[in-house]
Amino acid sequence: MHRIGVLGSGSWASAIVKMLSENTSEINWWIRSESAVKHLHRYGHNPKYLQGVKYDVSKLNISSNIEEIANNSDVLIFAIPSAFVVDTFDEFPLPDISTKKIVTSIKGIIPEYNAIPVRYIHKTFGVPYENMAMISGPCHAEEVALERLSYLTIAGPDEVLTTQIADILACRYIKTTTTDDLFGTELSAVLKNIYSLASGIYAGLGYGDNFQAVLISNCIQEAENLIDAINPIHRDVLTSAYLGDLLVTAYSKFSRNRNFGFMVGKGYSVKTAQMEMDMVAEGYYAVKSIIEINKKFQVDIPIVHAVYHVLYERISPVVEMNILADKLS
């Protein structure tokens, strides 16, 4: 396999490095914090994320120099939260990566451009779509750290690239599949975070499992309608990259978006919930961008609108979500 570099230091970046370490003898890992780099070299643990994971540092070239990591890698895996991508690369400019293979594991939308990650990378860095792939779930970093059986879908137009990435990530506790639906998988990963917010808000309001089942069945239908309007190709949204990823994000105790929504449903303000979590809920940024994107396509997306009204227009969750509940079937 080509030389692989991972950009990012958070939970998902840490989980990806753990997976890669099972099959790869040398991994380039960019972490912006020099103190975190030193801690990893000395103790073999990420000081802030997935602290229980012990890394074999002999396999890792860890550096806070992004240019060094990029230049030493043929394949770069982007694992930076979407809300921070633009600021990160403004502060730490990348060298020319237009001829490299790029894999994104960014689970959100680039809010400054209302763009899915692959489109942002294509436009910003000149990387052809055929040189890109995307890592999708259903998979939480915390369960990777615990080595619980998990599944990944690698999406991209180049079957050789997606197969290579799938093979290098597969291990005893990770099973992988591939798909050529790059744009649909990216959009689904954005939308499932919004729907997880809705699930959390309803849970915070006291709605039960029976209602949640109806909500999620409506969510996957709404997602399919919007994705098909934006990228009209044949796809089966009942597979794990779509429905499976939605289910784990909407129900799991590890889901940041569900936990964020739960606090809002319990009466926390958006700002207070953000401060309490001290983590990024990608759906918060995604819902505003999806509203903007849908102005062109005019798809009926009442669940997205309801979440937007609660988070951005400060409409009472009780009022807004009761109105939405009457629309579901």
Rounded to whole angstroms, how far apart are CA atoms 140 and 148? Answer: 10
- Taking each continuous run of H as one helix and of E as one strand, the counts in the chain are 15, 8
Domain CATH for 90? 3.40.50.720
CB atoms within 10 A of CB 318: 14
Q: Which domain holds residue 280?
A: 188-327
Same domain, yes or no: 236 and 134:
no
pLDDT of residue 25: 86
Q: Which residues contact 61 (CB under 8 A, 6 or more apart)?
A: 26, 27, 28, 29, 69, 72
| 190 neighbors 301 (Cβ within 8 angstroms) | no
Same domain, yes or no: 21 and 38:
yes
Place 274 in a pLDDT band, splitting at 50, 70 and 90. Answer: confident
Same domain, yes or no: 222 and 145:
no
Q: Please tell me whether residue 22 adopts helix, strand or coil conformation.
A: coil
- Indicate the residue among 180, 206, 224 that finishes a domain: 180
- Is residue 21 predicted with pLDDT exceeding 90? yes
Same domain, yes or no: 245 and 317:
yes
pLDDT of residue 1: 58
Counting the structural domains of the chain, the total is 2
- Is residue 98 predicted with pLDDT exceeding 90? yes
- Tens-digit pLDDT profile for residues 78-96: 999 999 999 999 999 999 9
- Is residue 280 predicted with pLDDT exceeding 90? no
Same domain, yes or no: 166 and 206:
no
- Omega before residue 117 within 30° of 0, cis: no
- Mean pLDDT, rounded, for 173-196: 97
- Is residue 18 predicted with pLDDT exceeding 70? yes
| 72 neighbors 26 (Cβ within 8 angstroms) | no
Rounded to whole angstroms, how far apart are CA atoms 184 and 90? Answer: 28
Catalytic (active site) residue 296: no
Exposed/middle/buried for residue 280 (C-beta within 10 Å: 0-12, 13-18, 19+): buried
**Active-site position among 192, 266, 271, 296:** 192
Same domain, yes or no: 151 and 18:
yes
- Mean pLDDT, rounded, for 201-226: 98
Q: What is the DSSP string of 61-72?
A: EEES-HHHHHHT
- Indicate the residue among 157, 180, 203 that finishes a domain: 180
pLDDT of residue 300: 98
Same domain, yes or no: 213 and 97:
no
Same domain, yes or no: 230 and 99:
no
Same domain, yes or no: 222 and 266:
yes
- Indicate the residue among 145, 180, 215 that finishes a domain: 180
- Mean pLDDT, rounded, for 6-12: 95
- The tokens for 89 are 């690369």
Which of these, 40, 81, 17, lies nearest to 277 by C-alpha position? 81
Q: Please tell me whether residue 152 adopts helix, strand or coil conformation.
A: strand
- Tens-digit pLDDT profile for residues 35-50: 999 999 999 999 999 9
Same domain, yes or no: 161 and 208:
no
In this prediction, what percent of the chain has a pLDDT beyond 90? 95
pTM greater than 0.85: yes
Same domain, yes or no: 32 and 54:
yes
User: SS3 for 171-232, per residue?
Assistant: ECCEEEEEECCHHHHHHHHHHHHHHHHHHHHHHHHCCCHHHHHHHHHHHHHHHHHHHHHHCC
Place 329 in a pLDDT band, splitting at 50, 70 and 90. Answer: very high
Place 150 in a pLDDT band, splitting at 50, 70 and 90. Answer: very high
Domain CATH for 230? 1.10.1040.10
pLDDT of residue 203: 98
Place 210 in a pLDDT band, splitting at 50, 70 and 90. Answer: very high
Same domain, yes or no: 234 and 168:
no
